[in-house]
Amino acid sequence: MIYEFRTYDLQPGSVPEVMKRFEEAYEKRKEFSELAAFFYTEIGPLNQIIHIWPYEDVNQRQEIRAEAVKSGVWPPNIAEFIQHQHVEIMMPWSFSPELTPGNHGPFYEMRSYICKPGSIPATQERWQTKLEERTKMSPLGAVFSVDIGTALKIVHLWPYQDLKQRSDVRGEAAEKGIWPPKGGGPGFFSQENKILLPASFSPMQ
C-alpha cells in the first residue's frame, strides 16, 4: 500500500469554493478509486488543502489516474485558485495503522520531520518501545516515510476530539516520559506541524 499526499497552496479566501468544486468532481472520480482523506489547514500554513489517495502501488496509481483523466471527470476545475502543488508518495511504517474512514477527529495534527541521513531505522525502533503506551492515551492515525518526493522525511498524523484533548494528552505523555521516545539524540534537521480539519466529503472525519 502506498499513499499519495497532494498538498495545494491556494489563493487566500478560495478554500470554500475549491472544496465545493472538488466535491462535485469527486462524485465521478471516486468511481475509479476513493480518497483516504481530504483536509484543510486550521492552524499552520493557511489556504492549504491536503488530499490523500491510497493505491496498491505506483502502477495502480498511474493506471487509475490516466483512466480518470481520459474519462473527462478529472481533475476538478480548480486550477485558477492553485498557487503551488506539492506531491509526495508515502510508505506506511510496518506498524502504522491504515487510514480508514470514520469519525476519528475532527482535529488532526500532521507532524513532518526532515531526518538526518541514516536515522530513520533507529527512529522506528524508538517509536516501537513507547508506541503502545502512547496510543493508550490517544490513537495514532498513521506514520509514513516519503518514498518519492522530499528525501528523509517522515510524516505522522494524530487525530484528536479537540485542541484541549491534544494539549492534555501531549502534556501528560511528556510529563510521564512516554512521548516523544527518548534516546539516540536529535535525529531531525527540522520539524513542522499543522492542525487540519476534514472537508464534509472526507472519508476520515
From start to end of the chain, where are the E strands?
2-10, 37-43, 48-55, 82-92, 107-115, 142-148, 153-160, 188-198
Let me know: does 12 contact 46? Beta carbons within 8 Å: yes
pLDDT tens digits, residue range 36-61? 999 999 999 999 999 999 999 999 99
pLDDT for the residue numbered 125 = 95
Which residue, chain included where needed, has cell 531505522?
121
pLDDT tens digits, residue range 133-150? 999 999 999 999 999 999
pLDDT for the residue numbered 44 = 96
pLDDT for the residue numbered 182 = 86
Work out the average pLDDT over 81-102. Answer: 98
Please state, in angstroms and rounded to a whole number, the distance separating the CA atoms of residues 71 and 65.
10
pLDDT for the residue numbered 172 = 97
Confidence band for 186, pLDDT divided at 50, 70 and 90: confident
Confidence band for 184, pLDDT divided at 50, 70 and 90: low
Measured between alpha carbons, how far is residue 39 from residues 145, 199, 202 in Å?
19, 6, 7
- β-bridge pairing 153-160 and 142-148: antiparallel
DSSP state of 56: S
Confidence band for 17, pLDDT divided at 50, 70 and 90: very high
Mean pLDDT rounded to a whole number for the chain: 96
In which region does residue 34 sit, left (phi positive, over 0), alpha (psi from -120 to 50) or beta (all else)? beta
Please state, in angstroms and rounded to a whole number, the distance separating the CA atoms of residues 9 and 51.
12
Q: Which domains does the chain have, with CATH numbers?
A: 2-198 (3.30.70.100)
Residues of the chain with pLDDT > 90, as a percent, come to 97
Work out the average pLDDT over 17-22. Answer: 98
Work out the average pLDDT over 88-95. Answer: 98
pLDDT tens digits, residue range 105-123? 999 999 999 999 999 999 9
In which region does residue 136 sit, left (phi positive, over 0), alpha (psi from -120 to 50) or beta (all else)? alpha
Confidence band for 183, pLDDT divided at 50, 70 and 90: confident
pTM of the model: 0.96
